[in-house]
Amino acid sequence: MASILDGLNPNQRKAAEHIDGPLLILAGAGSGKTKTLTTRLSYLIGEVGIDPFNTLTLTFTNKAAAEMRERALGMIENRSSTPPLLCTFHKFGLLFLKFHIEKLGRKNNFVIIDSDDKKRLLRAIVKELKIEDLNISFLASEISKYKNSLLTPDVAIKKAELEDYRKVAKVYSAYQSNIEENNLVDFDDLLMLTYRILDENSKLRVEVSNRYRYIMVDEYQDTNELQLKLLEHLSSEHNNLCVVGDDDQSIYGWRGANIRNILDFAETFTDAKTVKLETNYRSTEQILEAANKLIEHNSGRIGKKLESHIGAGPKVNLQHSLDEVHESRAIAREIQELLSKGVDSKDIAVLYRINALSRSLEEGFTKEKLNFKLIGGMRFYERAEIKDIISYFRVLANQNDDFSLLRIINKPKRGIGKASVGKIHKLADENRLSIYDTIISTKESDMVSLVGKKVTNAFKKVVADIKLLQSEVERSIYDFVSLFEDTIGLKDYYAHLVDGQDRVLNMDEFYGYFRDAIKKNPDLTLEEFLNDISLQSEQDQVEGESVTIMSIHAAKGLEFEYLYVIGLEEEFFPLLGDGCNMEEERRLGYVAITRAKRHLTLCYVDSRFYKGRRKMIDKSRFLGESGLIESTSLKITKSSAYKRGDLVKHKIFGIGRVQESNKASGGYKLLINFGGNKKEILSSFVQPI
DNA sequence: TGGGTCACGGTTTTT
DNA sequence: CCGTGACCCA
């Protein structure tokens, strides 16, 4: 009898056929990971006879979820029953909390805030608490770490020993009370609160685990501590957890992903089976040889070797240029030639380690009249004009959302300044009311004496507008957008700014999207719409009519016939610096190389213009490690000579000035004056400033 | 209140 | 070099 498993190779088949007990599918780049996973899901449902209702498949991005859904559903013949739940971790958290957040004493009409909102809120809190010496991004990521380690603010404060961490914990505490008061949840909460509820309610945990009897996780190497704990709870009753990942492609450590999750899978889940997928259907032998050689320099790995299914192929090219201008011109001209030979531009991409390198490409490509598409940069929902609309919508969904109200209270300009906002904010805090309710309940005469007649009127107008719009939302959510623009006039406001035209176009796109969503689902509430879009990102428009340029991170999961990787230089790639994790840099190199199907060009330059100055750089150690050039002798951190008077920085001695410089093996022997304290130090131990 | 100038600092990014 | 936030004055 024909089976859907027939299309798989022996190892893929072994993985798909595995039914009960934990399974780790170690899937190398291009080894048919998605195919195996989707085939397994449809096999379980279509041939083993498992109810789709009892499966759960988790991914990291909406894009991956959408792709897998399409492919799996395409294979399942009888689609009469409920489709299997296949979504992102965060979406799962959202669905779960909609049903169960009451168990934490919270209402389920919460709204999700994104990282941008989080930072804005933190900025306000830091100001209020007068702790202004802490970096906002640092705070945001520390709070994220707290939540992912399940530390409550109280515990965090108690455990904090260093002064700085007491401050961080205090901000965390204020932040958490603030979002709880406004009934907001951040991305981490979607997972953290879900975990907490399951952890505290054993009956529910058993019930939920029994419901999701077959769990699959994609990109397992990217899971963090909390996601692992969540998975342990979800699979506690049956242990049927199947994860797919590649330890060599773990490139999100800086964001909390814990590579140990995949390395230790077999120990964490007893009796786990491991299946390795090492046949690569994407790239040539030449390309895979470079990738394999490079990644072998890492020590913390399970270990596997990709074998090409498509044969030798052409040699990997190296391109050496004087600087970034020559580099981008050379690439542009080569691409032009490919295009003239009939190569499809969507089969060509250029990758880089840091976004700053995109600039020279953009300039060079424009000069050479080469069409390109840049992936990354400002995301749609994070544009100021879109966030303004979203903030209005949020206030309409929940007038107690002070945070959103504050963003739009003087947008468009109503003559309400910082001072007036501060006064009303203070009054609201004293009365333990939201700002909206404070404006409504404060006597007009009191308000006038507080902020003056003009501002009082402006406040009253905002509240009246919001009331009007709320009733319109109830009447017809579809028509409400036009009244919204008539009443608020956000488009007019933006139209008069310098880049107004683009912004108005964006706003129209957003309104169109909103109307579309309502048309598709007339029962959609504003609140549901808001939560849906906050879990969405529109990075799925990669395929197009032009050459793509993007970061290596953004290219994960993609493949290109012709691939260029630029910036293969020490400092840029591997990117050296404080938190440099060389093994992760190398994995990033591995990911970059394995995006290429047949033609790979690695580019490096002698000097690059960066942060306002020109820097001399050496070629990347990765070129040697992947066997593409004779292994270079030890790296010299600075290739141009140090001379008397140069300022340098030493990890222990701090900043000093070079007094003497002599060539020595592997660099320079320097006599440095650290504030009167003279030391003889090798140049490899200092950084030029 | 809000426009203008100045100093500072600057990886990778999804949800 | 270029964008952001703090600060100052009309």
The CA–C1' separation of A500 and C3, in angstroms, is 18
Q: Measure, in angstroms, how far nucleotide B13 C1' is from residue A553 CA.
A: 8
pLDDT in the model for residue A678 = 67
> Vertex A184, ends A178 and A185: CA angle to 5°?
110
User: What is the model's pLDDT at position A80?
Assistant: 64
- CA-based radius of gyration for chain A: 28
3-state helix, strand, coil in chain A (%, to 5): 50, 15, 30
Instruction: Say if CB A618 and CB A635 are below 8 A apart.
Output: yes
Nearest by Cα to A406 from A383, A423, A381, A430: A423
Cα separation, A321 vs A113, in Å, equals 45
Q: CA–C1' span, A413 to B7, in Å?
A: 28
The answer to whether the C-beta of A119 is closer than 7 A to strand B is: no
Token pair, residue A217, equals 């996780």
Q: Where are the alpha helices (DSSP H) in A76-113?
A: 89-100
How many Å apart are CA A219 and CA A66, to the nearest integer?
15
Percentage of residues in chain A having pLDDT higher than 70: 91
Q: Is the CB of A387 under 7 A from strand B?
A: no
Answer whether any strand B atom is within 7 A of the Cβ of A376.
yes
CA-to-C1' span, A236 to B1 (A) = 60
Residue A452 beta carbon within 7 A of nucleic strand B = no
Q: Of A208, A198, A275, which is closest to residue A243 (Cα–Cα)? A: A275
Report which of A585, A584, A565, A560 is spatially closest to residue A30, judged by C-alpha positions. A560
Contact A322, A607 (CB under 8 A): yes
Nearest nucleotide to A610, CA against C1' atoms: C1
* Stretch (H or E) spanning A605: strand A596-610
Q: Inter-axis angle of helices A225-234 and A136-148, to 10 degrees?
A: 30
Strand B contacted by A223 CB (< 7 A): no
- Using DSSP bridges, classify how beta strands A613-616 and A596-610 pair: parallel, antiparallel or unpaired: antiparallel
Q: How is residue A154 written in tokens?
A: 């109280």
Which nucleotides of strand C lie under 7 Å from a protein CB?
A: 1-2, 6
DSSP β-bridge partners for residue A215: A56, A241
Q: Rounded to an integer, what distance in angstroms lies between the CA atom of residue A654 and that of residue A543?
A: 49
> If residue A486 lies in a helix (H) or strand (E), which one and from where to where?
helix A480-488
Subset of residues 71-90 in chain A with CB less than 7 angstroms from any atom in strand B = 88-90
Q: What are phi and psi of A432, to 5 degrees?
A: 50, 45
Model confidence over A117-171: pLDDT tens digits?
888 888 888 877 777 677 888 888 889 989 998 999 999 888 887 777 888 888 8
Which amino acid, A292?
N
Question: Which residue numbers of A are catalytic?
Answer: 33-34, 218-219, 249, 595
- What pLDDT is stored for residue A164 in this prediction? 73
Q: How far is the CA of A133 from the C1' of B6 (A)?
A: 20
Residue nearest the C1' of B2 (CA based) = A417
Q: Phi and psi dihedrals of A17, rounded to 5?
A: -80, -20
- Residue A445, helix vs strand vs coil: helix
What torsion, rounded to 10 degrees, do the Cα atoms A608, A610, A614, A620 define?
A: -40
CB A349 within 8 A of CB A548: yes
Any strand B atom closer than 7 Å to A537 CB:
yes
Q: How far apart are CA A602 and CA A173, in angstroms?
A: 48
CA–C1' A137–C7 (A): 23
The residues, any chain, with a CB within 8 Å of residue A204's CB and separated by 6 or more, are A100, A103, A197, A198
- The token pair at A585 is 């840099």
For residue A688, say if its preceding peptide bond is cis, omega within 30 degrees of 0: no
Q: Token match 């991914």: residue? A: A59
CA–C1' nearest nucleotide, residue A378: B13
A422: nearest nucleotide, CA–C1' criterion: B1
Q: Which nucleotides of B are covered by protein (CB under 7 A)?
A: 1-3, 9-15
How far does Cα A208 stand from its chain's mean position? 28
What pLDDT shows up at residue A360?
92
Cα A639 from chain centroid (whole Å)? 34
Confirm if A364 and A332 have CB atoms less than 8 A apart. yes
Low-confidence ranges of chain A (pLDDT < 70): 1, 77-80, 132, 537-544, 631-646, 649-655, 660, 662-668, 675-678, 684, 687-689
How far apart (Å, rounded) are the C-alpha atoms in residues A518 and A501? 26
Please tell me what DSSP assigns to residue A300: S
* Closest nucleotide to A114, Cα to C1': B15
Residues with CB under 7 A from strand C: A 123, 132, 611-612
What's the pLDDT score for residue A633?
Answer: 45
Give nearest nucleotide to A89 (CA–C1').
Answer: B15
Measured CA A405 to C1' B4 distance, in angstroms: 27
Residue A634 pLDDT = 43
The stretches of A306-408 forming alpha helices (DSSP H) are 324-340, 358-367, 384-397, 402-408
Count CA within 13 A, CB hemisphere, residue A283.
Answer: 31
C-alpha A308/C-alpha A278 separation (Å) is 9
**C2 C1' to A114 CA distance, Å:** 26
The protein residue nearest nucleotide C5, judged by CA to C1', is: A123
Backbone angles phi, psi at A404, to 5 degrees: -75, -35
For β-strands A677-682 and A667-674, DSSP reports them as: antiparallel
Gap from A6 CA to B11 C1', Å: 44
Please identify which residue in the block is written with the tokens 């009934």.
A183
The closest nt to A87, taking CA to C1', is B15
Protein residue closest via CA to C1' of B9: A611
Residue A422: CB less than 7 A from any atom in strand B: no
Q: Which tokens in the block code for residue A421? A: 């906002």
Residue A471's Cα: distance from chain center in Å?
37
Per-residue confidence (pLDDT) for residue A689, from 0 to 100: 63
